[in-house]
A and B are shown apart, each in its own frame.
Chain A
Amino acid sequence: MSQYIMKVDLSKCVGCGTCGIACKIGNNTPKRQTGQTHNRADYITETTGYFPYTKWTALPVQCNHCENPLCVAACPVSPVADTNCVGGQRKAMYKLTAANGGFVLHDDERCYGCRRCQRACPYSALDVNSANAQFSVISGYDRLQEPFQYLQDTTEYIASCTGSEDEVRSQVSMSDLAPGYANRWEFAAGAAGAGLPPTPINDVRRKNIVDKCYLCYHRLNDSSLGSTENAGERRPYCVIACPAAARELVTTIPSGGKVLAHKKYTYLRKIVLVNPSTIGTASIPNTYYVGNFGNR
C-alpha cells in the first residue's frame, strides 16, 4: 500500500452531486444543522465569465488526506506512540503512514470536540453559513445535542394522519437514533489491513466530536468486500457511486493534476486549481483534478 490519491477527472464529471448524496447514505451523516454540513463528500460550483462566454464548473470535494496535514498538527489530544502513524504518534486526528495508505483518520473516542482541527484545516469552515462557504471538509457535532436528535421529533405534519420522525424509526424498528434508511452494521479493520489501527467508523454519529471523510477506510480494509483493494466494492463509496466514472483512487500523482488552493485563496466557494508545488509545505492535498469540466 502507498499513499492513496483521489483522482477526479473533471472532463467526465457533470456536477450531478451523486457523490455527495451517496456518501451521506453510505456513511450515515446527519442533515445540515448549526452551520455544519456534515457532508463528507460535497462539491463547489462556480459560474465565471460574462454572457455568452459564461462557464459553469462543478468541483467535487472531500477530505484531501493531505501531506503534513494542519488538522493533525492542530489536534491537542495527547499523542500515543504508534508506528503506523506519521511521526510515530497518534492523536485524535492522525495520519497513517504512506505504507498504510496515508489516510487522515479521526478517533471518535479520543476527540473531545475542541474543533481546532476544523479551524486549522485549509478546506474547512467553523460555520459554513457565517463563512458563506460552499463546503467544509470537517464538520463539528454540537456539544450537547445528539446529531440525529431531530429524529426524535414526535410532531406530525397532519395530526394523527401523517407520521413523525420518531414514528418512522419505530415503524422500521430502528432502536438507534439514526434515520430509517441507515446502515446498521460495522466494518472493522480487516485482514488486508493487519496491524492497522481499528476502523474508527461508527454507524451512528455522536455529539461533541468532529467528523470528516475517512476515504472509506472501512471499505478499503474489508477483505470480505473483494480480494482486490481499491476494486469493486473495496473502494470509497463516492468512487463506486459516481455515475460518470469521474473518480478513481490511485497511488501515483496523475500527470498534470492540480489541487484545490487553500481557503485563503478560495474562501471555500471559489474554484482555484493550482500546481501542488505552490501550496507550500503544510496540508498539500492528495486530491488531484485532471481534465477540464467544460469544453469552451
Chain B
Amino acid sequence: MIKVTRRDFLKGSAAIGVAGALSGTVLNTLTPSKAHATEDGIGWIPTTCVGCTTWCSVDVKTQTEGGVTRAIDVRGNKYSKRGDAATGDASNACPRARLALQEAYDADRVKVPMRRTNPLKGRGVDPGFIPVDWDSAMDEMADKMLQMRAAGNSHKYVYFRGRYTYGRDTLYTGIPKIYGSPNGISHSSICAEAENICREGVVGKYGYDDYDIDNCRCLLLWGVDPTASNRLVSGTIHKLGARINAGMKVIAVDPRLNTAAAKAHYWLPVKPGTDGALALAMAHHILVNGLWNKSFVGLDDTVFTANNNAVVGTVAESGTMGLVTWWDMVLKDKTPAWAAGVTGISPLTIIKVAEEFAGVGEADDDKARAISWLGPGVAMQPNGYYNGKACIALNGLMGSFDHIGGEIQAEPSASVYSSDIPAYATYQDATATTGAGKQKITKYVASGLEAGMPTVEGNAPGKLTPTNRAGDAIKDESPYETKFILGAMNNFVFSCTGTKRWEDGLSGDMSSWSAEGTTSDGAPPFVVHATTHASEFSMFADIVLPGKHTGLEVKSSTHQRSGMYKNHNLYNAVISPVWPDAKNPESELPWKLAQALNTWGFSNLLNFLRTEYPAAVGASTLGVWADSSAFEDIHHKYHATKGTAGARDTLWTQINGATMTTISAYQEAGNGIYQATYASTYFDSNGRGAAWNGLTFGTASGKVEFYNSGAKHLTALTSYKTKVTPNYSTFYDILNDCNYNDVATQVGSGDANPEYVFLPNYESPFYNKGGVNPAEYPYAYIDHKSRLNREGRSQNCGWYYEFKSNDPGDEKWKDVIKIHPADAYVIGVVDGDTVKITSPSNPTTGITCKVKVWNGVRAGTVAKAYGQGHWAYGRNASNSGGGNNNEILPAEWERINGGTARNGVTRVKIVKI
C-alpha cells in the first residue's frame, strides 16, 4: 500500500485536470493508489466514553505516523451487548461520544504545569500564570502540605473530585487518609444523588437502576429525557423509536418540551415542582379503578373509594407494605381533579395516562411491564424526597420493580469488576489518624450535623457529602479554615449553584497564607487544580496541572449498568498524549506528589503506593524514582481487576483479548469490556425476577414499602433528632426546617401523625415559598442539561455550538432563555433580544442571554439549558456569550438527602437590555 499525502494527491489531481480536458474515461488510470482504513497504522482501539455516567464502551479509530498516534474517529464498541447486535457500533455512541475528539485536540488545553504569579485572587483578576515544571510544582505542594502537617493542620487539606473513574480511590481516600485529612469530597451530590434517596425510601436501594426498555409496555418519564441526558442515553436513543413503533407508549412529564416529550404519546407539562401531585392522582385513579397488579400487591378485594378510607377485603397485601395506610392518609382525596388544580394538567389527561400506565385489561405480568422512571428533574428539588417517592412508588403498584419490562433492581448475576483501594491503615501515622478523624468541611457546623440538613443515606444521618456545602465552608471558614485544596477534573465554582459563595471563598490575597496557626490567616486556600482546561476553578488556583484526557489518554476503568448488562470498561491510553506534560490525575499525580513528599521526609504515601498496588497484582515493588507511567500501569490493572494476583492476570488477559471470551453462560470478556447479564433462571417465565418472587428488596421488610414503621429512614431521622445540636424534639420541626412545610403540617406539631414522615406525598414547590413576591419575580425557572454537555467539559468544542439546536427550542451558536409567547409579550421581547435574568439570590448582577419565544413551556415558566456562560475554560467557551444558570440559582438542597436542588428552586425576573 502506498501512503498518499495531500501533496501527492494534489499532484495527481493536477494531472487529472489536464487529462480531463482531453477525455473523460482516461481519468481512472490516474487515480491515486488508495490508502484506507485497513492500511498499516490504522486501528480501532476500545476505550470508554465519559460523556455521561452511562460510560458506554466505544472504539476509537487511530492513525499512527512517525511514532505519533492520533484519534481520528469514535464509534460505539460493537461488542458491547448493551447495544443492538445488528447495529451495535452505532447504538453505543450518542452524539456526545464524538466530541471527545475536539476535547482532546482542543488548542486551549493546559499543556504544562502553570503557577500563579498574582497573589490576588478573584473573578476577573488575571492570575498571571507562568509555566513551571512538574518537579517544582510538586515540591511546592509537598512543602506546603508538610508544613500544614507539622502544624497539626493536615485536616485543612481538601480534595475535590469532579469526573472520576474507578481509579478514583488513591486521590479520594489514599492521600487524605495517609496524609491526615477527612476531606475527600466528591461531586456526586450536585449530580443526581437525590434520586437515590427516593428509591431507597420505597424499595430500599440507594443507587441507580437499570430499565428494561426492550420489553417495556409503557414508559413514564418524570423530569428526565433519557435520549439526551441522565443515563442510558445511547441505548435509549437506539431503542425509543423502534419500541414506540412496536407499541410501547411513552408519557413524558416535564414542564419543558424535551425530546422524549416530543416523541411521546403524552406530554404532561406540569407546573415545575408539582410532579408529586400528578403521581398521587395517578395512584389514586389506579386504586379506585382496581387497576393495580394484584399478583404483586395483593389486596385483590380491597375497595378504594375516593374520599373514603379503604375497605379492606380478605386478600392480604403481599409484595408491598402499607398501601392501605398510604391510601387512607394520603391518596384518598388526591383525585385527578385535585391534581389538575395543582399541576395544570387536565383531569381527563391524568385519568388517561393513569390508565395507559396501568394497562387497563392487561394481565398482571403485562401490567408490570411499565416503568415509572424518576429523573433528577423531580428529585433534585427542595421538595424532591416526597414527590420523588410518589413517582417511584407507581412502580410498586404495577409490580414492575425487578420485573421484565420494568425497573430492574438487581445487579446481573456475575460480579467481577474493580477493586477498591488496598488496605492503608498500616501506613497511617498518628498525625494521619488524628487528621483523618476530624469532621469533613461539608459538615458545615462544629457539631458535625447541621440543623435542617439530615443528609440521610440508609439508616444513618450525616452520611452524604453535600458537595455544595464546601462553598460555604471555605467562605465562612467553618467548621474550620480550608488551607489547601487539590481539585481534579472539577469546576465547582461554575458547576455548583450559588456560584458567588465559591468565588468569594476562593478570592482574596494569598500574601498572608500560612500553613500554621489555629486561627484564620486571612488568606484564601492554596489551590492546586489538575484539569484539561483552565476552567473557572483554575482561575483561583495557585498551581494548575495539565491532566490527560479521560477516555483518550488515561488508563483506567469504570463499570455501569445499562440495557440489562453490566459493563466493566477499560479506558485505554488510545493516543499519544497531545501534551507530554499532561498526567493522569488519578494515578500519576498521586505518584508524583508521593515522590515529592518522600523527598521532603514523608515517605508513608510513597511506600503505600509502591508496595501495596504492585503486590496485589504480582509485580515487584516500584523503585522510589520510578516513572509515574509505571505506577499508572499497575494502578490501572489493580483497579480494573480483583482477587488474587493470578485471578487478576486471568481477568486482565480476558478483558484485553481481541476477541470475546465466554467465561460463563452470562459473562464474557474481550475487546476492552467485561460484560455480565442475568442468569436465565433469574427471571421466571412470567418475567418476575428473583427479588420480585422472593420479596428480597433492600427494604427492612424485603417488600416495596409505601409505609413501614421500621424503615431505614425512620432510623436515620430518629437518630438525627438527638444527634444534631440543638436536638430536635419532633419530626415536625425537622420537616419544617427541611422545607417540607406541607408534609410537616400533615404530621402535625408534636408529631400527631408521624406516619406522614415516611409516606410518599406531595410537597408544593420551593419557589412559591419563602415570601418571594411573584409580582417582582414572575417566572418559575427551569434548568435543564444541554444535550451535548459532556458533563460540563465540552463547552470549548466548536461542534457544541454548531449542533446546539438538538436541544428543543435552542438555537445554534446561542444561549437562549425559552419564554412562552404571552410572557414575551408582557416582557416586551421578541426572538433574539438580549435579556438580563435576576433572581432573589442574585437580584443585581444576574446573567444575560438571548430570548427564544417558544411554546414548549407554559406561561409563567421559563427554561434555559445549563452549559454556557463561561468566563474561562477556553476561547469558544468564554466568548460564546450567555449565562451560567448556577449564578442565579440559590444554593439550596433536597435537605433530607443533601443533593443540590437545581429545579423548582427559584423564580426569576426578566428584563430586556
Contacts and interface: CB of A to CB of B under 8 A. Distances in A.
A32 B36 CA distance: 27
Given A173-B65, A184-B63, A164 B244 contact: no
A88 to B, nearest CB: 9
B238 A82 contact: no
Contacts of B6: 176, 178, 184, 202-204
Nearest to B86: A245
Contacts of A25: 72-74, 98, 101
A274 interface: no
Contacts of A144: none
Interface in A159-193: 160-165, 167-168, 171-176, 178-190
Contact of A18 (B72, B93, B259): B93
Interface stretch (A42-50, A113-121, A251-259): A42-50
Contacts of A108: 13
B333 to A, nearest CB: 26
A262 interface: no
B666 interface: no
Interface in B1-26: 3-6, 9, 13-14, 16-17, 20-21, 23-25
Contacts of B809: 47, 56
B98 A171 contact: no
B38 A185 contact: no
Contacts of B65: 173, 184
Interface string A130-163: 0000100000000000000000010001101111
B799 A243 contact: no
Interface stretch (B425-433, B692-700, B854-862): B854-862
A198 B855 contact: no
Contacts of B264: 294-296
A275 interface: no
A158 B105 contact: no
Given A80-B20, A242-B90, A294-B263, A172 B31 contact: no
Nearest to B552: A181
Contacts of A282: none
A203 B131 contact: no
A286 to B, nearest CB: 22
Contact of A295 (B9, B25, B250): B250
B712 to A, nearest CB: 38
Contacts of A173: 65-66, 68, 70
Contacts of B63: 183-185
A216 to B, nearest CB: 13
B805 interface: yes
B241 A16 contact: no
A186 B875 CA distance: 32
B5 A202 contact: no
Nearest to B84: A245
B36 A187 contact: yes
Contacts of B13: 108-109, 202
B266 interface: yes
B578 A197 contact: no
B242 A245 contact: yes
A165 B227 CA distance: 33
Given A165-B107, A168-B105, A185-B35, A134 B805 contact: yes
Contacts of A109: 13-14, 16-17, 20
A241 B237 CA distance: 12
A130 to B, nearest CB: 14
Given A16-B806, A43-B805, A185-B39, A198 B242 contact: no
B33 interface: yes
A198 B534 contact: no
B855 A54 contact: yes
B72 A16 contact: no
B267 interface: yes
Contact of A185 (B37, B86, B234, B267): B37
A158 B534 contact: yes
B529 interface: no
A32 to B, nearest CB: 6
B17 A110 contact: yes
Interface in B786-808: 787-788, 798-799, 802-803, 805-806, 808
A32 B798 CA distance: 9
Contacts of A110: 17, 20
Given A17-B803, A18-B98, A82 B24 contact: yes
A32 B805 CA distance: 15
A293 B261 CA distance: 11
B129 interface: yes
B72 A183 contact: yes
A1 interface: no
Interface string A20-53: 1110111000011000010100010101011110
A32 B741 CA distance: 52
Contacts of B213: none
Interface string B80-116: 0000101101111111001101101111111110100
Nearest to B804: A17
A162 B36 contact: no
A50 to B, nearest CB: 5
B9 A203 contact: yes
B658 interface: no
B238 A17 contact: no
A17 B95 contact: yes
A199 interface: yes
B240 interface: yes
Contacts of B31: 188-189, 198-199
Interface string B539-558: 00000100000000000000
Given A176-B5, A188-B31, A190-B34, A171 B578 contact: yes
A118 B242 CA distance: 36
B111 A163 contact: yes
A127 interface: no
Nearest to A28: B72
Chain B CB count within 10 A is highest, among A187, A246, A296, for A296
A23 to B, nearest CB: 10
A153 B107 contact: yes
A108 B12 CA distance: 13
B685 interface: no
Contact of B105 (A11, A180, A188): A180
A100 interface: no
Contacts of B799: 21, 24
Interface in B239-295: 240-242, 244-245, 250, 257, 259, 261-267, 269
A67 interface: no
Chain A CB count within 10 A is highest, among B130, B237, B788, for B237
B93 A241 contact: yes
A240 B25 CA distance: 31
B552 to A, nearest CB: 10
Contacts of A55: 262
B874 interface: yes
B801 to A, nearest CB: 8
Contacts of A153: 107
B345 to A, nearest CB: 8
Interface string A190-224: 10000111110011100000000000000000101
A250 interface: no
Sort A-B residue pairs by CB-CB distance and give the 8 closest, nearest first: A12-B241, A82-B24, A180-B105, A56-B262, A17-B806, A188-B34, A161-B114, A181-B101
11 contacts: A12-B241, A162-B534, A168-B107, A172-B105, A181-B72, A182-B72, A183-B73, A198-B30, A233-B37, A243-B94, A244-B240
Given A14-B263, A157-B108, A162-B874, 20 more contacts: A15-B259, A16-B787, A17-B95, A24-B799, A45-B805, A51-B269, A52-B267, A52-B858, A56-B262, A56-B809, A109-B20, A157-B874, A163-B579, A167-B111, A172-B576, A174-B70, A181-B105, A202-B6, A243-B76, A245-B90
